[in-house]
Amino acid sequence: MIRTSVLLAVLLFPFTPAAFAGAPEINVEAVCKARSALQPPFPDQDCARDEEAAKRQLGTLWESTSASIRKRCESDARSLGTMSYLDLTACIEITEDSKPGSQDKP
């Protein structure tokens, strides 16, 4: 029970709220430690590498994504306790792809 509480606390607060519509800053180390506790064979260095790649990708997506989608993705991640760059990037991409009028490019 204590482990679950600590894990939720780490996952819920490893970020700083976005200021002036910039992408949020997420504590990658805390995310990776929590993730490795849930998925022991997933090494922290692989997690950190994946999160940093997602952070770079999110940087290019963030400004071109509507504020309503950014807010929804951040809110969903916070409520689920899974805030990470990978989660935010995936949420934005999925939401953008599912918008009416968007088409998959070959």
Q: Is residue 36 domain-resident? A: yes
pLDDT band for 13, please (50, 70, 90 cuts).
very low
C-beta pairs of 60-63 under 8 Å, 24+ apart in sequence: 61/89, 61/92, 61/93, 62/22, 62/23, 62/92, 63/21
Give the residue, 91 or 15, on which the prediction is more confident.
Answer: 91
Q: Is residue 52 domain-resident? A: yes
Q: Is residue 88 domain-resident? A: yes
Structural domains in the chain (count): 1
pLDDT digits (tens, 9 = 90+) for 30-55: 888 888 777 766 677 788 999 999 99
Residue with token string 């790649």:
53
Element (H, E) at 33: helix 28-38
- Please list the residues that pair with 20 across neighbouring strands: none
Domain that holds residue 41: 2-97
Query: From its phi and psi, is residue 45 left (phi > 0), alpha (psi between -120 and 50) or beta?
Result: alpha
Kindly report the number of other CB atoms within 10 A of residue 104's CB atom. Answer: 5
Give the span between the Cα atoms of 98 and 73, in whole angstroms. 14
What pLDDT score does 102 carry? Answer: 60
Tokens standing for residue 75: 């809110």
Mean pLDDT for the chain? 77
Q: Is residue 76 domain-resident? A: yes
